[in-house]
Amino acid sequence: MNITVPKCGSTEYMARDMCSRLGLGFVQAPEYSERTVELGVTLSPEHVCFPCKVLIGSSVEAIELGADTIMMAAGFGPCRFNYFAEIMRRVLEREGYSFRIITFDGPRDAPLDFFRNVRLIVPAANKGLAGMARDMTLSLRKGWAFDEIEKQAMAVRALESEESATDKAIAECLSVLDAARTRLEIDEAREWIADRFARVPVDLERPYIKVGLVGELLMSIEPYFNFDVVRWLARHGATVERSLHMSDVFTPLGRNPVLGYNTPEINKAASPFLCHEVGGHGHISVGATVQFARRGFDAIVHFFPFTCLPEVISKTVFMRISNEFDIPILSISVDEQTGRAGMQTRLEALMDVAWNSKMKHEERPGSSPVVAPRDRVPL
Ligand code: SF4
């Protein structure tokens, strides 16, 4: 069995770790590229969501590299994501590809289906059901650590006082985490990671702004689709915090250990603005935006796929949040036509508004002036 999974944040890291524990083959899909998008757009029905097209293109590339089993997630609720696996199966079979797709619903939503799917893997794995459950838990734990590295890097990159200090810390943390196998080793690695980032040399006198990154999973997490906005923002003096991490998404009971506050808290924050479930991660986008605004963030960037209904609803709600909290929010829709130049112009405008607002609030008589970074770096 050569398994592949959708490429999104820490998903592949967790899946690769799990496959190595279970003695299964794992095929990593190539990095997203123009070819991935072209393949997906060519093969998919025109009106399916952009992420579905992308995942179809990416699955083709993984099958070309030897994958024979695609693991997908699905679920219930008002979102077209639940149809992705079936659409992918039909499109790829129609194109003559030979593969099997195993679609996992959440264990709480459909426990029988979940265990039926797990049993499909058991014959190929070198463990029984209990051993598999234990290994899945350990892989998820490693996923938390992987996402914590990303979270710390986003928080510190804009302030690093030595060039590439953050990248160096990331590389060291990943090699420590790769070597961790047991629960104790993973927990020690997480402590080591926190300590390593505390030692990244930073310039505490340097002015900075805080930007929250929210939106649909693939567009807000994957640098290919948001033009690596996290690094771009760091070069413009912004520390960044993101609302979604894949290991949080896979953690039961909405605990969100990486984000730091749980889903009921997010729902409570969203409730004055959005009183019912809209599907996808629309509710989280709204709730996290309110949380960021309350915590004094200076701007919000919202990425979503063109025609994504949950995020379009969030976008309409953002106007009210922006007025009530006096915080600039930029929504950017992404599809195969999205160009760098247009996105950069709008992001630069957002940076100008955020820095001006910060200067207005922070410059007091006698204090040293807040100066925005002037380098206009291309996306
Ligand atoms: S979240 Fe948006 S893009 Fe994703 S499946 Fe749902 S509607 Fe489509």
pLDDT at residue 196, rounded to an integer: 97
Least confident of 141-145, 309-313, 346-350, 363-367: 363-367
pLDDT at residue 79, rounded to an integer: 86
**Ramachandran region, residue 224 (left: φ > 0; alpha: ψ -120 to 50; beta: rest):** alpha
254 or 224, higher pLDDT: 224
pLDDT of 369 > 70? The answer is no
Instruction: Report the percent of the chain where pLDDT is more than 70.
Output: 96
What global pTM score does this model have? Answer: 0.92
CB 6 within 8 A of CB 225: no
CB 318 within 8 A of CB 300: yes
Closest atom, ligand 1, to C-alpha of 51: 3
pLDDT at residue 158, rounded to an integer: 96
Alpha carbon 99 to its chain centroid, in Å, reads 27
Distance (Å) from CA 300 to ligand 1 centroid:
20
pLDDT at residue 348, rounded to an integer: 95
Q: Binning pLDDT at 50, 70 and 90, where does residue 368 land? A: low
Condensed to tens digits (0 to 9), the pLDDT of residues 160-219 reads 999 999 999 999 999 999 999 999 999 999 999 999 999 999 998 999 999 999 999 999
Distance (Å) from CA 75 to ligand 1 centroid:
12
State how far the alpha carbon of 177 is from the alpha carbons of 88, 142, 159, 258, in Å. 33, 7, 24, 16
For 361, residues 6+ apart whose C-beta sits below 8 A from its C-beta are: none
CB 147 within 8 A of CB 10: yes
Average pLDDT of the segment spanning 351-377: 69
Which of 48, 55, 81 should be mutated for ligand 1, with most atoms under 8 A from CB? Answer: 81
Distance (Å) from CA 7 to ligand 1 centroid:
16
Structure tokens at 148: 């914590």
pLDDT at residue 15, rounded to an integer: 96
Q: Binning pLDDT at 50, 70 and 90, where does residue 275 land? A: confident
pLDDT at residue 350, rounded to an integer: 96
Least confident of 22-26, 290-294, 375-379: 375-379
Rounded to an integer, what distance in angstroms lies between the CA atom of residue 240 and that of residue 292?
11
Closest atom, ligand 1, to C-alpha of 218: 4
pLDDT at residue 246, rounded to an integer: 96
Does 51 sit in the ligand 1 pocket, CB within 6 Å?
yes
Residue nearest to atom 2 of ligand 1 (CA): 308
Which of 53, 76, 277, 308 should be mutated for ligand 1, with most atoms under 8 A from CB? Answer: 308
Average pLDDT of the segment spanning 24-43: 96
Structure tokens at 361: 């609030």
pLDDT at residue 112, rounded to an integer: 83
pLDDT at residue 373, rounded to an integer: 60
Average pLDDT of the segment spanning 285-314: 95
pLDDT at residue 93, rounded to an integer: 97
Structure tokens at 231: 């690094």
State how far the alpha carbon of 251 is from the alpha carbons of 108, 142, 153, 182, 246, in Å. 12, 12, 22, 19, 9
Distance (Å) from CA 95 to ligand 1 centroid:
24
pLDDT at residue 188, rounded to an integer: 97
Residue nearest to atom 7 of ligand 1 (CA): 308
pLDDT at residue 133, rounded to an integer: 87
Q: Binning pLDDT at 50, 70 and 90, where does residue 379 land? A: low
pLDDT of 127 > 70? The answer is yes
pLDDT of 366 > 80? The answer is no
pLDDT of 363 > 70? The answer is no
Average pLDDT of the segment spanning 288-312: 95
Condensed to tens digits (0 to 9), the pLDDT of residues 106-117 reads 777 777 888 888
Residue nearest to atom 1 of ligand 1 (CA): 280
Residue nearest to atom 5 of ligand 1 (CA): 81
Per DSSP, the three-state class of 289 is helix
Condensed to tens digits (0 to 9), the pLDDT of residues 60-81 reads 999 999 999 999 988 777 888 8
Does 305 sit in the ligand 1 pocket, CB within 6 Å?
yes
Average pLDDT of the segment spanning 29-37: 96
pLDDT of 24 > 80? The answer is yes
Average pLDDT of the segment spanning 257-271: 92
- Ordered domains of the chain (ranges, CATH): 2-127 (3.40.50), 143-207 (no CATH), 208-379 (3.40.50)
Distance (Å) from CA 304 to ligand 1 centroid:
9
State how far the alpha carbon of 328 is from the alpha carbons of 40, 188, 303, in Å. 34, 39, 14
Closest atom, ligand 1, to C-alpha of 80: 5
Alpha carbon 155 to its chain centroid, in Å, reads 15
pLDDT of 253 > 90? The answer is no
Distance (Å) from CA 351 to ligand 1 centroid:
28
Least confident of 80-94, 144-158, 357-371: 357-371
